[in-house]
């Protein structure tokens, strides 16, 4: 059962990582449905492109400079939202990166960066905005991934950060229940977004910094994951499907703790409940043939 959305612009929402992909789709979708959207972008030109894409709803999209790993940016956004005065109906923590590399050789600085953006940045954003969330009786929506439930070959660093985000979200939900602040995790499967091509380009550069053995041991696996990423960008579930799930998490009268998006996400969630680890490992190996 859903709640009514009210008048246009009477509720605000902060969306991180709104420059492209899922975040952009979420920002546009929420603006279309009457939310005043403070959309976190890292570059002014991304903000301009976002407002242009909003068309008739451009007045409800407010791009704000936001790198979730920069404390000054996070604090500035919190002050901007507070100064505007519109009740904050929710925070959508979406900003994220995907580090691709075999765990045996993943550069530790890249691993730290993976967690800094996907986990620490998410917590920092929520902490800064919690006073407005409380005042506005808002909600928290964390954009996770099915990789937060089942780790993938060559994407172990990314999966580890999403596993951590699951724990963070569970902690927030259980700690905030006494104040009636719902916390939901949106769990997409493979989504057709630019993150795949961007991650591939970065992965190729990362390979050049790895020892020669990395390619000797993992070239075949890397090629398979690379091809899968290319296919996901073309054939993955549209980002708009994630946006619809986020909207539900913000407006359902009784929001779920988790919203799965895409057939693959629902399938993996079902399989992980019935398969043992060795069975799941064999299933993953079978997909390589």
Please identify every residue annotated as catalytic: 158
- Report strand pairing: 191-192 vs 237-238: parallel
Q: What is the C-alpha to C-alpha distance for residues 62 and 202, in angstroms, rounded to an integer? A: 30
Burial of 247-282, coded b for 16+ CB within 10 Å and e otherwise, reads: bbbbbbeebeebbbbbebbeebbeeeeeeeeeebee
Convert 33-57 to b/e letters by CB count within 10 Å (16 or more is b): bebbbbbbbbeeebbebbbeebeeb
**Cα–Cα distance measured from residue 33 to residue 80, given in angstroms and rounded to the nearest whole number:** 22
- Tell me the backbone φ, ψ of residue 133, rounded to 5 degrees: -65, -45
Please answer whether residues 159 and 101 qualify as being in contact, where contact means their C-beta atoms are separated by less than 8 angstroms. no
Q: Say if residues 190 and 236 touch (Cβ distance below 8 Å).
A: yes
DSSP letters, 226-256, are HHHHHHHHHHSEEHHHHHHHHHHHHHBSS--
Residue with tokens 């939310």: 35
Short-list 84, 110, 94, CA closest to 191: 94
């Amino acid at each position: 059962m859903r709640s009514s959305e009210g008048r246009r612009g009477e509720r605000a929402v902060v969306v991180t990582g709104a420059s492209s992909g899922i975040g952009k789709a979420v920002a546009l979708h929420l603006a279309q449905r009457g939310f005043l959207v403070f959309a976190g972008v890292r570059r002014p030109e991304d903000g301009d492109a976002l407002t242009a894409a909003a068309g008739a709803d451009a007045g409800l999209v407010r791009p704000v400079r936001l790198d979730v790993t920069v404390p000054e940016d996070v604090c500035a956004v919190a002050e901007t939202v507070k100064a505007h005065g519109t009740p904050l109906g929710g925070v959508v923590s979406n900003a994220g990166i995907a580090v691709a590399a075999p765990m045996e050789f993943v550069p530790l600085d890249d691993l730290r960066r993976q967690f800094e953006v996907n986990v620490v940045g998410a917590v920092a954003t929520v902490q800064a905005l919690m006073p407005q969330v409380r005042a506005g009786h808002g909600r928290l929506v964390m954009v996770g991934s099915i990789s937060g439930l089942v780790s993938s070959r060559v994407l172990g660093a990314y999966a580890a950060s999403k596993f951590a985000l699951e724990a963070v979200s569970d902690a927030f939900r259980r700690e905030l229940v006494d104040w009636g602040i719902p916390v939901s995790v949106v769990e997409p499967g493979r989504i057709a977004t630019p993150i795949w091509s961007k991650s591939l380009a970065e992965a190729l550069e990362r390979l050049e910094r790895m020892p020669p053995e990395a390619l000797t041991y993992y070239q075949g696996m890397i090629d398979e994951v690379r091809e899968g990423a290319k296919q996901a960008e073309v054939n993955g579930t549209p980002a708009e499907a994630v946006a619809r799930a986020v909207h539900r998490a913000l407006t359902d009268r009784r929001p779920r703790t988790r919203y799965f998006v895409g057939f693959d996400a629902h399938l993996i969630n079902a399989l992980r409940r019935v398969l043992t680890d060795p069975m799941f490992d064999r299933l993953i190996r079978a997909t390589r043939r």
